[in-house]
Amino acid sequence: MKDFTSTPSPVKHIAEPTVRRLSGYLRFLEAFDAEGHETISSGELARAGGTTSAQVRKDLSFFGSFGKRGLGYGVKDLIASLREILGLDTRWPVVIVGAGKIGAALAQYRGFGTHGFDVVGIYDTDPSRVGTHLNGVTVRADGDLEGDIAALTPRIAVLCVPGEAAQAALDRVVGAGIRAVLNFAPTSLVAPEGVTVRAVNMATELEVLAYALTNESRD
Amino acid sequence: MKDFTSTPSPVKHIAEPTVRRLSGYLRFLEAFDAEGHETISSGELARAGGTTSAQVRKDLSFFGSFGKRGLGYGVKDLIASLREILGLDTRWPVVIVGAGKIGAALAQYRGFGTHGFDVVGIYDTDPSRVGTHLNGVTVRADGDLEGDIAALTPRIAVLCVPGEAAQAALDRVVGAGIRAVLNFAPTSLVAPEGVTVRAVNMATELEVLAYALTNESRD
DNA sequence: GGGTGCTTGTGAAATCCTTCACAAGCTACT
DNA sequence: AGTAGCTTGTGAAGGATTTCACAAGCACCC
């Protein structure tokens, strides 16, 4: 049995649902830690994350062995391990493209910073927004985007532009070297191989709910 | 072979990824229709939605038979069918709980209304926000929540409260009869059986991207 | 120091989802 | 009317993920 205490191994391909759950465990553990708990069992973690204890253990087992049999997991240790697994042991510079309602709301969102992500630039085409300040970062002109990406080397871009402008915005940030994008525009985007795009789409979420309500013939 | 032209059958359990994709197809088809296209093939739809043509056809086949062999799908017909499948042939009243940055941004989001969802109420505990207007809806006092839900019978609640308040907000709307919730708070919530909760969690999305960037040793 | 009670880690089984591959069916053209 | 060229709809195969079930391991107590 290998000792993975200090280096979770990335090893093989991990399914996205697994990564999402790990993120959820981390979120809950942070709150649990703040409440002063020292240890947690896979069962408790499962209940909080809406899954099963076997799932929790399997998810973690891909990366190593973090618990103590009979006892559970050390809360602080597991937090540290999950941070390392998810790549949160460094800070990630992020640019936001679009300073409208959503872009502005995001820029002012505190959790951004407290979770390891630093907003290093916000860009907008509207001259009346350029120069305004959002949570300490000045909105810059759209045209500065490429130059700033080259200079500040953010790894992640968050797109908060209208749907019609989203594909063009994606192409620009990808052209400038960005390989990971979070898209808030209600359009599905095509990206070249090697670029990860995640979408947050309110319409889709609401439609999933509408579908669920429409088909309550479940039991 | 049955004729399902006017009534897509809800029939058996459909996987959530399928429903999400259907929503994505609908979004793309609306844009495609606006460009004046009459028909579309499963291959074109697949490219736009980031999937395969077989997947598109399989997704649709759960609900009936909507295309013409050799030709593809009628864009307007398919839009109508997808709307019906997703339960968008009626309008859905929605309440927003929390009128902070995110709640306010959502309330002013136009796409809400154009996709069949009507914001019928926004609630906040902060007296300085109560009485302000957001896109034609007046922010009401937190205490009015239960009474308004009883009176206006919204089926969906969108939670935009801070993490610490999210579980309590969920319990309240569920108590008042809501069975579908979209949670923007960065906390995972526990809901009773029969209540559908979907979460939009920025931290998780960013962490999935961080994980992807950290493990680029793929190919 | 051995027993008891609890919880992890993990192969194997089961379930779920996606991809394959091809018959069926439509249109256009000769 | 027959043929050629596309594209759908769908069983069946293949892969992936989740669940099961149990041996292994730790702490506490007598």
Give me the CA A4–C1' D23 separation in Å, rounded: 22
- Does the CB of B113 have a partner CB in chain A at under 8 Å? no
Q: How far apart are the first and last CA of chain A?
A: 44
pLDDT, tens only, B54-90: 999 999 999 999 999 999 999 999 999 999 999 999 9
Q: How far apart are the first and last CA of chain B?
A: 44
**Residues in chain B where the model's pLDDT stays below 50:** 1-7, 218-219
The whole-number pLDDT of residue A111 equals: 84
Q: What are the boundaries of each domain within chain A?
A: 16-86, 92-204
Give me the CA B11–C1' C20 separation in Å, rounded: 25
Mean pLDDT of A110-137: 94
**What dotted CATH number matches A92-204?**
3.40.50.720
Specify whether domain A16-86 bears CATH 1.10.150.20: no
Which nucleotides in chain C have some atom under 7 angstroms from a protein Cβ?
Answer: 5-11, 16-21, 24-27
Cβ separation B188–A85 shorter than 8 A: no
Give me the CA B186–C1' C17 separation in Å, rounded: 29
Q: Which residues of B133-172 are buried (b: 16+ CB within 10 A; e: fewer)?
A: ebeebebbebeebeebbeeeebbbbbbbbeeebbbebbeb
Interface of A with B in 59-78 (CB under 8 A): none
From the CA of B162, how many Å to the nearest CA of chain A?
11
From the CA of B4, how many Å to the nearest CA of chain A?
17
Burial of B42 (0-12, 13-18, 19+ CB in 10 A): buried
- Share above pLDDT 90 across residues of chain A, in percent, rounded to a whole number: 86
From the CA of A109, how many Å to the nearest CA of chain B?
8
Nucleotide nearest to B72 (CA to C1'): D7
- Does the CB of A198 have a partner CB in chain B at under 8 Å? yes
pLDDT, tens only, A74-108: 999 999 999 999 999 999 999 999 999 999 999 99
